[in-house]
């Protein structure tokens, strides 16, 4: 045997051994009495070990029994690490519920489950965005493996980052990654990413990032359909192909409630993108081919080996999204390994908790709010161009008016004894006051936003319906005045504080929503912001 044929022989033997290991790992999934091969076991046995593994829902190694994430509660700023119910199992969400009872918690760290400690603390300011907040810890209750656990729900200005991570690809080294995200919560702002980013929180040039992006920001037209799409954020561009734009007419996006998205990149001249429904079936290859060469810097790549979750490389942080789990590998994972990981994710059985009935103030309920003042009983609280106003809405009104006039009740962002109102058609945006006027705005996670977006319900001040006192200005109530919404006191310095009709103007009927949850695209109700 010549040296060359011996090498070829050894290479194909190694490939076969890798494939066999993946098959064995795949067979182990669901085998009674056998520890499940979790995603990082599969990648490891295929010769592409995880160098980072993050999840708020479950262990990504069958033997992992450490913490998944850390929460900090608002009442006394103390923290608690949330671990697993059992080794290799699911998050102990009950521990979080007990710790955060009667206060609110944010996730301060998502721990790395590999031995490399590539943990993800909250991302500080970067050149393109101010410092981030942690995600509210109970925003996204879902079921996994039959247990209630929490996903991470990102509004704008939320993100996590580990600078100069250990073992993550640098300067043209090969790598792979996946995340489980959602096709029901996304936007077209930069950049809901998970993956490899710069050491400084700055754009240091083409090819200095290699991260999965998921959303509807079509950086290079054309993109097909309405999205959201899996793309490769390679810095200064979200790529669906070597030329940036989509070359795949079938890839119109993925709106499944749970989406698996993968990216692999050999760092030299090849990358591939796949996605699939995280609850059934396999992965579809959206692109597999050359790295961009028409623009400089991407072939070879220049990754810097830090890790981001929820923002772009320079901390562009206008994006929203959901994250349940994800991992990064050293080396390019085989298609067999990726299929096996997808099978394992499907076996988890991600799902939503039971839908909450609408028309009441229970968290998760979808409602509309009707004015009770005699002038205005056909008028409802809705948002319009970001302002909160009242409009006449009837059964024959356009769908947009109905969507704008529908709100999801959330546990109060600043107090679980009160409520917040999330926009039905702008997920992550809330009714909040600013200079005493009410607006629809994206949560920035700040204490001020949380307080401004929290309202405490009490019997209607006119004797009918319900009134909502501002959490941080408790003598002021949500009021309509000239069809615009304010927080108003009963007499005061502003025209909208006028005493005439005050009691009626601050009393609202809570009714069944104009747009029940199921009428919007995107799957079952499962989102709750607390
Ligand atoms: O590549 C898209 C974005 O461009 C990156 O995430 C960010 O660093 C830059 O603004």
Tens digits of residue pLDDT in 267-283: 999 999 999 999 999 99
Atom of ligand 1 nearest to the CA of 213: 6
Task: Tell me the pLDDT tens digit for each residue of 436-476.
Answer: 999 999 877 678 998 999 999 999 999 999 999 999 999 99
Tokens read off for 310: 């929820």
The three-class DSSP label of residue 249 is coil
Q: Compute, in angstroms, the gap from residue 22 CA to the centroid of ligand 1.
A: 34
Q: Compute, in angstroms, the gap from residue 161 CA to the centroid of ligand 1.
A: 15
Instruction: Name residues whose C-beta falls within 8 Å of residue 513's C-beta, 6 or more positions apart in sequence.
Output: 358, 359, 366, 367, 368, 406, 407, 424
Best residue among 199, 229, 238 to mutate for probing ligand 1's pocket (most ligand atoms within 8 Å of CB) is 238
In sequence order, what are the beta bridge partners of 208?
none
The three-class DSSP label of residue 86 is coil
Tokens read off for 141: 């209750």
Best residue among 128, 192, 235 to mutate for probing ligand 1's pocket (most ligand atoms within 8 Å of CB) is 235
Give the pLDDT confidence score for residue 521 in this predicted structure.
32
Give the pLDDT confidence score for residue 104 in this predicted structure.
75
Task: Tell me the pLDDT tens digit for each residue of 331-367.
Answer: 999 999 999 999 999 999 999 765 667 899 987 788 9
Which residue is listed with tokens 């990726």? 338
Tell me the average pLDDT of the chain: 90
Q: Please determine, for residue 375, whether its predicted confidence score (pLDDT) is greater than 50.
A: yes
Give the pLDDT confidence score for residue 403 in this predicted structure.
93
Tokens read off for 47: 């010769």
Q: Write the burial class of residue 7 (CB in 10 Å: 0-12 exposed, 13-18 middle, 19+ buried).
A: exposed
Give the pLDDT confidence score for residue 16 in this predicted structure.
43
Q: Compute, in angstroms, the gap from residue 276 CA to the centroid of ligand 1.
A: 25
375, 363 contact by CB (below 8 A)? no
247, 241 contact by CB (below 8 A)? yes
CB of 233 shorter than 6 A to ligand 1: yes
């Amino acid at each position: 045997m010549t040296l060359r044929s011996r090498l070829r022989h050894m290479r194909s033997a190694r490939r076969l051994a890798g494939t066999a290991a993946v098959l064995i790992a795949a067979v182990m999934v669901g085998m009674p009495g056998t520890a499940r091969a979790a995603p990082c076991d599969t990648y490891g046995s295929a010769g592409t070990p995880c160098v980072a593994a993050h999840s708020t829902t479950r262990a990504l190694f069958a033997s992992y029994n450490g913490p998944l994430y850390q929460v900090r509660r608002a009442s006394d700023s103390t923290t608690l690490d949330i671990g697993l119910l059992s080794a290799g199992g699911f998050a102990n969400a009950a521990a979080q519920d007990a710790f955060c009872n009667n206060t609110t918690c944010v996730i301060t760290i998502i721990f790395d489950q590999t031995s490399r400690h590539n943990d993800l603390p909250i991302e500080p300011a970067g050149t393109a965005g101010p410092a981030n907040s942690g995600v509210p810890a109970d925003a996204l209750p879902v079921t996994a493996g039959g247990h209630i656990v929490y996903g991470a729900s990102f509004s704008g200005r939320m993100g996590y980052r580990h600078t100069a991570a250990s073992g993550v690809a640098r300067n043209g080294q090969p790598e792979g990654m996946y995340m489980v995200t959602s096709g029901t919560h996304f936007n077209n702002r930069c950049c809901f990413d998970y993956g490899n980013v710069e050491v400084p929180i700055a754009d240091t040039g083409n090819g200095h990032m290699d991260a999965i992006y998921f959303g509807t920001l079509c950086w290079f037209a054309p993109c097909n359909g309405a999205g959201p799409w899996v793309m490769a954020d390679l810095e200064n561009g979200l790529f669906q192909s070597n030329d940036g734009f989509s070359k795949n007419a079938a890839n119109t996006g993925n709106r499944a409630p749970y989406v698996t998205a993968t990216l692999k990149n050999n760092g030299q001249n090849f990358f591939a993108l796949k996605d699939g429904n995280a609850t059934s079936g396999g992965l579809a290859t959206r692109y597999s081919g050359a790295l961009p060469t028409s623009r400089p810097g991407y072939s070879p790549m220049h990754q810097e080996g830090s890790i981001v979750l929820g923002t772009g490389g320079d901390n562009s942080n206008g994006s929203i999204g959901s994250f349940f789990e994800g991992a990064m590998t050293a080396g390019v994972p085989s298609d067999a390994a990726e299929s096996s990981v997808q099978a394992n994710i499907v076996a988890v059985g991600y799902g939503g908790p039971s839908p909450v009935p609408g028309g009441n103030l229970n968290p998760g309920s979808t409602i509309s709010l009707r004015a009770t003042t005699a002038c205005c009983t056909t008028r409802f609280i809705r948002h319009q161009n970001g302002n909160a106003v009242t409009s006449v809405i009837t059964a024959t009104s356009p769908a947009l008016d109905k969507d704008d006039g529908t709100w999801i009740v959330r546990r109060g962002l600043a107090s679980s004894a009160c409520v917040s109102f999330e926009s039905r058609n702008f997920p992550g945006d809330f009714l909040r006051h600013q200079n005493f006027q009410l607006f629809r705005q994206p949560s920035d996670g700040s204490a001020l936003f949380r307080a401004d977006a929290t309202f405490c319900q009490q019997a209607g001040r006119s004797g009918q319906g319900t009134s909502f006192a501002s959490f941080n200005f408790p003598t002021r109530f949500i009021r309509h005045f000239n069809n615009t919404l304010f927080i108003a006191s009963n007499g005061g310095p502003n025209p909208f504080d006028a005493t005439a009709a005050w009691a009626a103007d601050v009393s609202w009927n809570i009714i069944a929503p104009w747009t029940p949850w199921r009428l919007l695209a995107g799957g079952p109700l499962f989102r709750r912001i607390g």
